[in-house]
Amino acid sequence: MSVSKKGLLGAGGALIALTGLAVSTVGGVQARIANPTANQQASRLLAQKLNTLTVVFPGRSDTADLQNKANAVGAFLSRELGIPVKAQIGDDTAAVEALRANRADAAFLSSRPALKAEQLANAKLYLAEVRPTYSGRYTYNSIFVVPNKSNLTTKNTPKATLEQLRGKRMAFTSPTSGSGFIFPVSELVKQGFVPDRDRLDGFFGQVAYGGNYSKALQAVVRGQADVAVVSEYALNPPYITAAEKNQLRVLHKISGVPAHGIAIDDDVPATDREKIINAFLKLNQSQNNQLLSNLYNSTELVRVDHNRHLAPIREALQRVGIAP
């Protein structure tokens, strides 16, 4: 980990790797110091200040001109923290790798990459995004979508509703999508229709992957699929047009999909981490909120407990037999 970047306050604790020996005071918990030389090195490193904060902003299909928008947020954070802030653009995989390799201190991540960041970098999710299109404020629904004129109907129980999909043509979003694959397949396993994600063809007549929300939904609009699974917010522009939306309806929904959020690397000391979190939370203020909404159409950031927030995706992954 990149120790030279830590210490906004100059006196906060940091986890420091010294030739395989851990020397730290993190949240008041002290690790043993193997020798005086290591102690002296640690003291010098702890005194160094964070000279740059690097935040990764993954590109998403509903965001255009992301670099300039991220730069504006970076400039705001820089003013709040009193240090330069680098805004980097990359996909979720690149963001997780940047945290692991200590090339980034924080990243906007969706739920499954957040679990991977915990696994590889011991990073934690501290903030979640709120959107007006999220039915659960900082959780949202995975939805099964069918044509308006479909003879499939919503029944009294999830099992009865989903039973109708036997032999139908399914358009998933992608094999890595939470709301467009993991949660719906988890529900199918839970209801006893499939044993795991590898046996879907034993239930559906055809399985296809759109590659993104728009293409999965358009497969239904064009008659290439009987049903698609996507996030609830994908039933709005820019994912599909208003005319396309009018041709579709929701057959079944699965609630509690964790909203995307902001993960912070574990080697950022607690005192410094709190300053970063508070700076992000100031984006909720009316005079700053446009900076936040410009990014991913979020209207608010809220504090979350990492384990509690990500418990649903962790459970869904286990049920379908996928490692984070």
Query: Per-residue pLDDT for 10 more than 70?
Result: no
Whole-number pLDDT of residue 269: 87
What is the average per-residue pLDDT within 278-283? Answer: 99
- Mean pLDDT across the chain, nearest whole number? 87
Best CA proximity match to 184, nearest among 218, 157, 152, 144: 144
Backbone angles phi, psi at 254, to 5 degrees: -120, 120
Helix or strand or coil: residue 119?
Answer: helix
CA distance from start to end of the chain: 22
- pLDDT band at residue 222 under the 50/70/90 scheme: very high
270-to-12, 78, 126, 135, 264 alpha-carbon distances in Å: 7, 19, 12, 32, 10
Instruction: Please tell me the distance from the alpha carbon of residue 251 to that of residue 161, in angstroms, as a whole number.
Output: 8
Task: Give the pLDDT of residue 28.
Answer: 36
Mean pLDDT of 259-282: 96
How much of the chain, in percent, has pLDDT values that exceed 70? 84
pLDDT band of 102, cuts 50, 70, 90: very high
Please check whether residue 18 is in contact with residue 41, taking contact to mean a CB–CB distance below 8 angstroms. yes
Nearest Cα residue to 128 out of 288, 257, 262: 262
pLDDT of residue 49: 58
Helices (H), the chain: 36-47, 66-81, 92-100, 111-121, 158-163, 183-190, 213-221, 242-245, 270-281, 289-296, 306-320
Residue 62: the pLDDT is 64
CB 102 within 8 A of CB 1: yes
Average pLDDT over residues 132-157: 97
Lowest-confidence range among 19-23, 101-105, 234-238, 253-257?
A: 19-23
Under 8 Å between Cβ of 27 and 58 = no
* Averaged pLDDT for residues 241-254: 98
Q: What is the mean pLDDT of residues 14-20?
A: 33
Domains recognised in the chain with CATH numbers: 3-47 (no CATH), 53-135+259-320 (3.40.190.10), 139-258 (3.40.190.10)
Mean of pLDDT values over 187-198: 96
| High-pLDDT (> 90) share of the chain, % | 80
> Who wins on pLDDT, 64 or 200?
200
Half-sphere exposure of residue 281: CA atoms within 13 angstroms, side-chain side:
11
Has this prediction a pTM greater than 0.85?
no
Structure tokens at 51: 């000279």
